[in-house]
Amino acid sequence: MINFKDKPFNLTEEQIKWVESTYEKMTLDEKIGQLFCPVVFSKDETELKDFLDKYKVGGVLYREGPGEEIHAAHSFLQKESKLPLLIAANLEYGGNGSALEGTFYGREMLVGATGNYERGYQLGKVSCSEGAAVGVNWAFAPVVDLDRNYHNPIINVRAFSDDEETVIEMGRGYLKAAREEEVATSIKHFPGDGIDERDQHLLTSVNSMSADEWDESFGKVYKAMIDEGTLTVMAGHIALPAYEEYFDKKAPDRVIPATLSKNLLQKLLREKLGFNGLIVSDASPMVGFCAAMDREHAVPACIENGCDMFLFNRNIDEDYEFMHKGYESGILSEERLKEAVERILATKAALNLPKKKKAGTLVPDKDALKILSCKEHVEWAKECADEGVTLVKDTQKLLPVSPKRHKRVLLELMGGFDSDERVSSYMIGRLTEEGFEVTLYEKEGFEVMNDSVGNLKSKYDLILYVGNIETSSNKTTARLNWHTMFGLGNNMPWMVNELPVMFVSLGNPYHLLDAPMVKTFINGYCNSEFVMDAVIDKILGRSEFKGKSPVDPFCGKMDLKF
């Protein structure tokens, strides 16, 4: 049962009346439509109007785009929608999660590395205030996963830490800021990612903790966020077999993602943890959802088993039909349909969306866009970078470097991402400004068979590796892959005993696993210009290293420390 007056809704009698009367007036199509939060791509007003008339959705999400375009599209959608929309964005690491020109405050692990809980609040403030400026009222954030498996290919720097207390305090700060901006949070990814070495985008991943282990880690985190008042929780396509066995009194005979599990959603999250708010599924096109059950049954079963809102679609016409057919056949019960829609409406009421729709203020005036990358937010991001960049080791006593002693630099960019050119250009530009002569590594062919140690030493004074390897959907690893084999060529760090070699990671903090021979290693956790500037200042000795690693960069292996 829903308690509208209790946390996290805290509705007034007037707001409760709006929820109940609105539900009673809704047609079946309108109720079914409220369950959906699709990705919207078009910004054409005729197409958007037709879309709203046809599906009557409860929410939408645009991928990142130019602020003015996103603002205009959100304004039109809210004006034309009969009921106010939940407008979502992945506001995990700054306002650039919605508007491209928003502030890139920093990846969660950079924030965690500062050890300064005020930075968690600032992350939320930057993300949600800039998101709100373009009309976002629902943040798919903060990520409250625990990064406890260095092989995990998707959480990694998206987690604040491997320590639950750090995650709790940073998460609390984010939630406080989001409330101030009247933006709903969706903590994710229940029941907890960062344990498996696999990605739920590609399969149903498994949180392999025992029930007791889960209670003392993820359970503490989720209970703290629930007590703090998060309006929504995002359920992942992640199984938790120990709690399936706990509730069923027998070992499970199949892998069940949380998005389809009554045990995890209704018994663990609702009853044991006491969550009274809205549960949204993670993106339903992910293989972790699709592989668990045929889609015709999975779409309505997702709502019947405990999710209140269905995120994204493979084909919205088909999914919409599947939801209708599931209701007509009894897969989706009248009771669960009513409960889910009323939780959606209650979330909107808690955000004062009905009142804002009447006043025409669901999306602020264009003047609000001035907050994007404003001076204060940029300053906060610089401070976060300064406090977060971490010196993992310098066993060769290389630092600080200088253009007098290390003038000729071979820059080796390890990446393979769209941001590679931006990162390499920025690093080369900054180092050149400081007086270094920088050569960007280019892949060699078999001519390297004629190269020599002496030749390399005659050309360079420092080998600088910059890791720009980010975790990303549909990539099974975030590891180093070398161009050359057997140490031939100058891509692999064969030369660590011949020349000074330094590695700066702007992504994955675990690259020492593949390059333990590198004796000077720095973690920046994200590839923002603020982080790159902080790295330059620190390797030149102008600023001390302040960051403390929120995970084990040595991966539990002794040889990585030397």
pLDDT at 416 over 90: no
Among 544, 33, 547, 10, smallest CA distance to 229 is for 10
Angle in degrees, CA 111, 90, 552, rounded to 5: 35
Position 473 scores a pLDDT of: 83
Phi then psi for residue 139, to 5 deg, are: -95, 120
Q: How confident is the model at residue 513 (pLDDT cuts 50, 70, 90)?
A: very high
Q: Give me the long-range contacts of 416-419 (CB less than 8 A, separation at least 24).
A: 416/469, 416/481, 417/468, 417/469, 417/470, 417/472, 419/468, 419/470, 419/527
**Which tokens sit at 3?**
């308690």
- Tell whether the model's pLDDT for residue 147 goes beyond 90: yes
Cβ atoms of 530 and 381 within 8 Å: the answer is yes
Q: What is the mean pLDDT of residues 427-448?
A: 93
Q: Is the pLDDT of residue 448 over 90?
A: no
* Per-residue DSSP letter, 84: P
Using one digit for the tens of pLDDT, what is the confidence trace for 231-277? 999 999 999 999 999 999 999 999 999 999 999 999 999 999 999 99
Beta partners for 167?
A: none
Backbone angles phi, psi at 521, to 5 degrees: -135, 130
Distance (Å, whole) CA 39 – CA 317: 13
Q: What's the Rg (C-alpha) of the chain? A: 25
pLDDT in tens, 456-482: 999 999 999 999 998 888 889 999 999
The predicted structure's pLDDT at residue 489? 86
Residue type, 461: D
Residues above pLDDT 90, as percent of the chain: 95
Return the pLDDT at 471: 86
pLDDT of residue 310: 98
pLDDT exceeds cutoff 80 at 429? yes
Q: Mean pLDDT over residues 349-358, rounded?
A: 98
Q: 375-388 and 529-539 are packed helices; what angle lies between their axes, rounded to 10 degrees?
A: 50
Regarding predicted confidence, which is higher, 450 or 383?
383
The pLDDT value given to residue 485: 75
Query: What tokens does 157 get?
Result: 């720097």
Q: How far is CA 455 from the centre of its chain?
A: 45
According to the model, what pLDDT value does residue 256 have?
98
Active-site residue numbers? 282
pLDDT at 40 over 80: yes
Give the model's confidence band at 143: pLDDT under 50 very low, under 70 low, under 90 confident, else very high.
Answer: very high
Q: Has residue 449 got a pLDDT over 90?
A: no
Give every CB contact of residue 404 below 8 A, 6+ residues apart in sequence: none
pLDDT 10s digits, 289-342 = 999 999 999 999 999 999 999 999 999 999 999 999 999 999 999 999 999 999
| 27, pLDDT greater than 90 | yes
Could you give the percent of the chain with pLDDT greater than 70?
Answer: 100
**CA 302 and chain centroid, separation:** 22
Q: What is the pLDDT of residues 172-219, one digit of tens each?
A: 999 999 999 999 999 999 999 999 999 999 999 999 999 999 999 999
User: How far apart are the C-alpha atoms of 124 and 141, rounded to whole Å?
Assistant: 9
Question: Average pLDDT of the chain?
Answer: 97
Strands (E) located in 388-449: 390-394, 408-414, 437-440
Task: Grade residue 286 by pLDDT with cuts at 50, 70 and 90.
Answer: very high
Q: Count Cα neighbours of 153 within 13 Å in the Cβ-side half-sphere.
A: 17
> Helix and strand tally (H, E) in the chain?
20, 16
What would the pLDDT profile of 355-377 be if each residue is shown by its tens digit?
A: 999 999 999 999 999 999 999 99
Tell me what the mean pLDDT of segment 152-177 comes to.
98
Q: What is the pTM of this model?
A: 0.97
